[in-house]
């Protein structure tokens, strides 16, 4: 087995992206601003990024959802990450997180971060009864269902998990984690 890079250092930020058009581009911008990020990309996120004609950041370690056992989760056992961010988080992934389902790369990194007591920040996108979101063709209105809103509320009750509902909230939560570690993010 090759050695795990950065094992034991808790020096890196793990960032998981799901297939949400809502705040996808803005999340990518924030990732580019930050030092020492490893990216975990759901299958849907890899498709959505192409639909928006966007690109993943270069020069970054990117883990894709290609194995059933979500092999990269081993990095969480090796104390590589100080924080896990999931942004943007689809209603699909939020539902799985809330019910303890770990059958994708992103739901697995959430579960393993939780079990390894790595602080987690989730940017849930379906947070209001009525939202404007960016589809590939432009802005559209959507009405998240009661189950979507309830799941976000349930996720707020999880240990070591901060749920944010806006880009400003996401940036503030990440900055707070960076300050806590004595690392500047700007
Ligand atoms: C262009 C596009 C935009 C999407 N935007 C959203 C979104 O804003 N919120 C959401 O919950 N799902 C959205 N979806 C649907 C998810 O990609 C889909 O539920 C997928 O199965 C989620 O998988 P994941 O949670 O593993 O990433 C979008 C799909 C497409 C094709």
User: What would the pLDDT profile of 143-173 be if each residue is shown by its tens digit?
Assistant: 999 999 999 999 999 999 999 999 999 999 9
Measured in Å, residue 120 CA sits from the centre of ligand 1 at 21
pLDDT digits (tens, 9 = 90+) for 50-61: 998 888 998 899
Ligand 1 binding residues, C-beta < 6 A:
18-22, 42, 44-45, 48, 51, 90-93, 104, 106, 125-126, 133, 135-136
- Report in angstroms the alpha-carbon separations of 137 from 32, 80, 134, 167: 25, 39, 8, 22
pTM > 0.85: yes or no: yes
Asked if the model's pLDDT at residue 183 lies above 80, the reply is no
For each of the domains in the chain, give its residue range(s) and CATH number, in order of start.
Answer: 13-180 (3.40.50.1950)
Determine the pLDDT at residue 1.
66
- Residue 39: its pLDDT value, please? 97
What does the mean pLDDT of the chain come to? 93
Closest ligand 1 atom, CA of 17? 27
Residue 131 has pLDDT above 60, yes or no: yes
Q: How confident is the model at residue 85 (pLDDT cuts 50, 70, 90)?
A: very high
How many C-beta atoms lie closer than 10 Å to residue 69's C-beta?
8
pLDDT(6) > 70: yes
Is the separation of the CB atoms in 119 and 84 below 8 Å? yes
For the cut 50, the answer to whether the pLDDT of residue 186 exceeds it is no
């Amino acid at each position: 087995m090759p050695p795990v890079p950065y094992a034991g250092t808790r020096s890196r930020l793990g960032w998981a992206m799901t297939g949400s058009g809502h705040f996808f581009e803005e999340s990518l911008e924030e990732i580019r601003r930050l030092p020492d990020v490893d990216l975990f990309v759901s299958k849907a996120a890899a498709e959505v990024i192409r639909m928006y004609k966007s690109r993943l950041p270069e020069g970054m370690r990117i883990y894709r959802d290609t194995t059933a056992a979500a092999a990269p989760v081993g990095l969480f056992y090796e104390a590589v990450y100080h924080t896990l961010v999931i942004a943007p988080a689809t209603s699909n992934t939020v539902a799985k997180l809330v019910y303890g389902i770990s059958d994708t790369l992103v739901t697995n990194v959430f579960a393993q971060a939780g079990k390894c007591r790595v602080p987690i920040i989730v940017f849930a996108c379906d947070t209001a009864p009525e939202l404007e979101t960016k589809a590939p063709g432009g802005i559209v209105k959507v009405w998240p269902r009661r189950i979507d809103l309830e799941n976000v509320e349930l996720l707020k009750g999880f240990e070591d998990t901060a749920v944010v509902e806006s880009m400003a909230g996401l940036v503030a939560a990440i900055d707070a984690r960076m300050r806590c570690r004595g690392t500047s993010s700007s």
